Chains A and B, each alone.
Chain A
């Protein structure tokens, strides 16, 4: 197995693991946040619009961690510095 095969296989496996593990926490957190917001909206329908806007902002903040994982997966797959270094050698 030459260096290209090792770098390629490690990159693909790394991207999959990065995306898989990285999205667990943020999806669980988004689920909890949405459930709590729905409960609050059901209890107080008058405040639904304020709760909804706050929920969207917090969902976006929670989502950020999964997006970091996604960006790193893209970086590994399409703009891999190690692969480019190995090709340039």
Chain B
């Protein structure tokens, strides 16, 4: 029989324990015999549901002219802005990277902005979520590279200056992706920790300022994660032969 203890979701972060590193993966909401759904997974389901519902509401009655709804205008502005950024950064003209960039951006943005709800423990402040997102980019890199330049062009990247650099290139490929997951995790974790430490000392007004700053940081981090994903996946391009 599954056991539900959703009271755990309502625990304020750092409310009862002293200042310490709280592991969101250890807070279990639904537990079956052998496995459990922890608060990270549950909160990412909430984020996904919000994205799907908002997108469905916006695209339900698509129109043009004067009766365009406000939601459609807002989402169109967002998509067009990110399309512009992704195309400028990658140099592609056929919106190849738009899907990946928009998916990563909207997930991280909604997850980070929902921290204004006091009980919400952001899934991006858990290392497992950010590493999963980084793994997506790690797998997307050969996919887009092979699509653009073929298998040979992709493998040539690893022996680029001289074949002696092969281990260095493999290491740098793995570590830059690893650093991307770690960066998001560190930023979100430090935001949550600042709020917790400040509310232990000055419980009233001061944590509010840090959490407002956290909303700004979260937005910038979402943008940076999407843009860096585009930068890393578009590193290998088709060689353009000069026409002479």
Interface residues of A (CB under 8 A from B): 50, 53, 56-57, 60, 63-64, 67-68, 70-71, 74, 77-79
One of A56, A57, A74, A79 near B231 (C-beta < 8 A): A57
Residues of chain A within 8 A (CB-CB) of B89 are 53
In the assembled complex, B190 has its CB within 8 A of some CB on chain A? yes
In the bound assembly, the distance between CA atoms of A53 and B220 in angstroms comes to 10
Residues of chain B within 8 A (CB-CB) of A60 are 183, 220-221, 224, 228
Counting contact residues on chain B (CB < 8 A from A), the size range is 20 to 34
One of A53, A67, A77 near B186 (C-beta < 8 A): A67
One of B20, B183, B227 near A64 (C-beta < 8 A): B183
Tally A-B pairs: CB < 8 A: 41
Main secondary structure of the interface of B (DSSP, over half): helix
Residues of chain A within 8 A (CB-CB) of B185 are 71
In the assembled complex, B199 has its CB within 8 A of some CB on chain A? no
Main secondary structure of the interface of A (DSSP, over half): helix
Known: A68-B182, A74-B189. 18 other contacts (CB 8 A): A53-B227, A56-B220, A56-B223, A57-B228, A57-B231, A60-B183, A60-B224, A60-B228, A64-B183, A67-B183, A67-B187, A67-B190, A68-B186, A70-B186, A71-B185, A71-B186, A74-B21, A79-B21
12 A-B pairs in the complex with CB atoms less than 8 angstroms apart: A57-B224, A57-B227, A60-B183, A60-B220, A64-B179, A64-B182, A67-B182, A70-B186, A71-B182, A71-B189, A74-B21, A79-B21
Task: Please state if B85 and A53 are interface contacts (CB–CB under 8 Å).
Answer: yes
Distance to closest chain B CB from A85 (angstroms): 18
Residues of chain A within 8 A (CB-CB) of B228 are 57, 60
Residues of chain B within 8 A (CB-CB) of A67 are 182-183, 186-187, 190
